[in-house]
Amino acid sequence: MIIKTVKLTNFRNHTSYKLECKDETSLILGENGCGKTSVLEAIYILTRGKSFRATDPEIIKNNTEFYRIELEYVSGEKIIATYDGKMKNFLILDKKTRRLPKKNKYPVVLFLPSDLNLLSHSPSRRRDYFDRIFSEFDETYASNLSKYEKALKQRNELLKKDSLTEDTLFSWNIMLSKYGTDLYNQRITYIEEINSKLTTTYQSIAKNQDEINIFYKTEAKNLTNEQYLKKIEQNFKKDSYLGHTTFGVHRDDYIFEFNHKPANGSASRGESRSIILALKFIEADLLTQKLHLKPVILLDDVFSELDETRRHCLVKNFKNNQVIITSVERNTF
């Protein structure tokens, strides 16, 4: 689907703002702090259901009582989200829901400046990054992840209590081993899919023969539910001393490899950027393939971070998608 207009009321620094989108490429230009990323944030909420960077109390314009954002597709479909300081609602065809229904979600490839440093970020940032991508094309991944995170939180809270026995943790251990093995299997499958395209996509950008691979680093490799459960149980003493769960897929990492060595440290800045570009192209491909929908591409201020060749690659790769770009400089275009 193609986005036609986006309207923002009391959203971040915007009192009232309307963006008319082009079918192909739209450009949002302006100084730092004028509210460009906020427009992409509104689009993201209306297509994916929640913000990529904050919660509603942070988003509602300071000293106002509500925000309202509205997105209209060229097809006429309208999605409205409101937040009154307490509750967020989505309004679609006069029907109110607390969450954006699955059938009203639309795939998005979001490219933030911070993504360019994904290789050197912390493991948790990399996990979040891939969790977001996998959740976008697989609802069961999102649901496994949410159940895993809830169980982990509960277990960690119990681990902080003084009078704790092993039995108290049993049901949480069972849940962690079930959803943990499911998440492991899904992550391995999707990373393999990405890997099968990564080197060729990278080479088409970098025009050389370097090989790129993502290594999924985990202690939960190929475990059955029972083996996974045993590993959690074996760590009971350690976990209760430390007050958190030390074994599980919440500790995993994704290591980018450049010619079979860790890329963070061996790939140059330019090479790292080409790797990320390749990753974004593959993300868009996977979404198109799996959902049979062409994702909307949101490029937040990344052009100024890329050289001429990589900018050209980015534009060429997404020439058949609707693209919305923010930038400080006009002369980049």
Which residues contact ligand ADP (rule: CB under 6 A)?
Answer: 12-13, 30, 32-38, 58-62
DSSP state of 224: -
How far is 251 from 211, CA to CA, in rounded Å? Answer: 26
Cβ closest to Mg ion, residue 29 vs residue 142:
29
Q: How far is the CB of 311 from ligand ADP (least distance, A)?
A: 19
CB 92 within 8 A of CB 105: no
Q: Which stretch binds Mg ion (CB under 5 A): 34-42, 77-85, 96-104, 223-231?
A: 34-42
Residue 175 contacts which entry, Mg ion, ligand ADP, none (Cβ below 5-8 A, type-dependent): none
Tell me which residue has tokens 């049993």: 170
Cβ closest to ligand ADP, residue 16 vs residue 189:
16
Cβ closest to Mg ion, residue 37 vs residue 322:
37
Q: How far is the CB of 104 from ligand ADP (least distance, A)?
A: 24
CB 210 within 8 A of CB 202: yes
CB 303 within 8 A of CB 311: yes
Residue nearest to Mg ion as judged by C-beta position: 37
- 37: contact with Mg ion by CB under 5 A: yes
Residue 320's contacts (CB-CB under 8 Å, 6 or more residues apart) are 294
Q: How far is the CB of 43 from ligand ADP (least distance, A)?
A: 12
Residue 13 contacts which entry, ligand ADP, Mg ion, none (Cβ below 5-8 A, type-dependent): ligand ADP
Cβ closest to ligand ADP, residue 9 vs residue 173:
9
Phi, psi of 33 (to 5 degrees): 85, 0
Cβ closest to Mg ion, residue 31 vs residue 162:
31
Q: To 10 degrees, the CA torsion angle through 171, 140, 284, 193?
A: 70
Residue 292's contacts (CB-CB under 8 Å, 6 or more residues apart) are none
Q: Letter for the amino acid at 294?
A: K
Q: How far is the CB of 112 from Mg ion (least distance, A)?
A: 9
Residue 183's contacts (CB-CB under 8 Å, 6 or more residues apart) are 141, 144, 145, 148, 249
Q: How far is the CB of 38 from ligand ADP (least distance, A)?
A: 3
Cβ closest to Mg ion, residue 40 vs residue 282:
40
Residue 61 contacts which entry, Mg ion, ligand ADP, none (Cβ below 5-8 A, type-dependent): ligand ADP
| CA-atom Rg of the chain in angstroms | 22
What would you measure as the largest C-alpha separation in the chain, in angstroms? 65
Q: How far is the CB of 329 from ligand ADP (least distance, A)?
A: 13
Residue 23 contacts which entry, ligand ADP, Mg ion, none (Cβ below 5-8 A, type-dependent): none
Residue 259 contacts which entry, ligand ADP, Mg ion, none (Cβ below 5-8 A, type-dependent): none
CB 324 within 8 A of CB 43: yes
Q: Residues interacting with Mg ion, by CB under 5 A?
A: 37
